[in-house]
Amino acid sequence: MICAIIKIMQKNQKITLADVAEAANVSPITVSRALRSPDKVSPKARDRIERAIAQLGYVPNPAARALASGRTDVIGVIIPSVSNNVFAEVMRGMYDALSGSGLTVQLATTGYSPLAEEHLIRVFLTQQPSGLILAGHDQSPAARDLLARANCPIVQVMEVGPKPIDVAVGLSHHDGAFLAARHLIERGYRAPAFLGAQMDPRSQRRLAGFRAAMREAGLAEVTQVVTTPEPSSVSMGCRLFADLIAHHPQIDAVLCNNDDLALGVLFEAQRRNLSIPDRLGICGFNDLEMMEAAQPPITSVQTDRYGMGQLAIAQIRDRLEGRGHPAGTSIDLGFALQIRDSTGGWRG
């Protein structure tokens, strides 16, 4: 075996499965099997093969494997944007859940364009991925059609909806915002407003939840909503709030579409010497780590983004092993309203 290895190494080329087979004195297909289902190979052969692989430094060629098998070890992930920090945690959960699986994630971004999403779905699906992870439930009809025919697990993350394509992992953004708005009202705020940027479908549902709570409280008349299609940021929170308070000074609380905006509102309110929570209540969405650390700490709707990423990958891994949840399953990770000082005041 030593001789064989030396001879092969001297070729000074890429090490292939055939080289390993030669060094281990078995046929290539046996090496292939040893790699994919080690229990179908005799322990002796397996041992020789493993040794040869280690000594030669063999690494399988995924392209050849994909071409021959008609499958790839790639999980396609299609999200709107990498710089939206709600997705960062989701991605971290995915990467962590990937470890030791031999699977890799291929990330693509739509820039919030449904057409771009449809195109990416089409491209990914023709590449026979091991699975596909999508953000949300608002794929175009054509895309849904493609996905329905796909023969790989499809996981929709971020939110749960009425009719998942396959499996969904998320939460109800409507309900989260509804509960947050109701909390503001219960705390005695009588003129809460909604602040939103980058109004994607999930943001729209948060807004709907806010409106529902306001209607329930008989406050529909005084409801103020300020939104912009531009990306969300802390500065945008400052600007939107400045705009809001200039036109509607009677506003006494703000439900923000996300935590960046909420932090911007906090800063802008401090600049204007509006006391929090007495003159102004602030509530965010997602509960980024900094909400707890802020001065004062900011009330926010906690969501388990890391868990979503992990579960999405876990579901695909389970499916590939014949287990996992059946199509049609929605996994609602829920949310938790973290009540903090920014809405802590008693308002009679």
Partner DNA sequence: CTGTTAGCGCATTCAA
Partner DNA sequence: TTGAATGCGCTAACAG
Binding site for DNA (CB under 7 A): 14, 16-18, 26-30, 32-33, 35-36, 39-42, 44-45, 60-61, 64-65, 67-71
Name the residue nearer to DNA (CB basis): 71 or 119: 71
Using rule CB under 8 A, residue 153 touches a copy of itself = no
Instruction: Find the helix packing angle between 28-36 and 17-24, rounded to 10°.
Output: 100
CA distance 189 to 254: 10
Contacted entry of a copy of itself, DNA, none for residue 250, CB cut-off 5 to 8 Å set by kind: none
Nearest Cα residue to 98 out of 284, 266, 309: 309
The correct pick among 122, 215, 247, 248 for binding a copy of itself (CB under 8 A) is 122
Smallest separation, CB 46 to a copy of itself (Å):
22
Phi, psi at residue 248, to the nearest 5°?
-135, 70
Contacts of 168 (CB under 8 A, 6+ apart): 137, 155, 156, 157, 159, 160, 161, 329, 330, 331
Contacts (CB under 8 A) with a copy of itself, residues 19-58: 57
Nearest Cα residue to 164 out of 133, 125, 121, 120: 133
Name the residue nearer to DNA (CB basis): 9 or 242: 9
Contact mark string toward a copy of itself, 246..285, x via CB under 8 A: --------------x--xx-xxx-xx--------------
Residue with tokens 């935590």: 259
Smallest separation, CB 251 to DNA (Å):
58
Give the end-to-end CA distance of the chain in Å, rounded to a whole number.
Answer: 85
Give the chain's length. Answer: 348
CA distance 223 to 210: 9
Contacted entry of DNA, a copy of itself, none for residue 42, CB cut-off 5 to 8 Å set by kind: DNA
| Interface positions with a copy of itself (CB under 8 A) | 14, 57, 59, 61-64, 66-67, 72, 81-83, 85, 88-89, 91-92, 95, 104-109, 122-123, 126-127, 233-235, 237-238, 260, 263-264, 266-268, 270-271, 289-290, 292-295
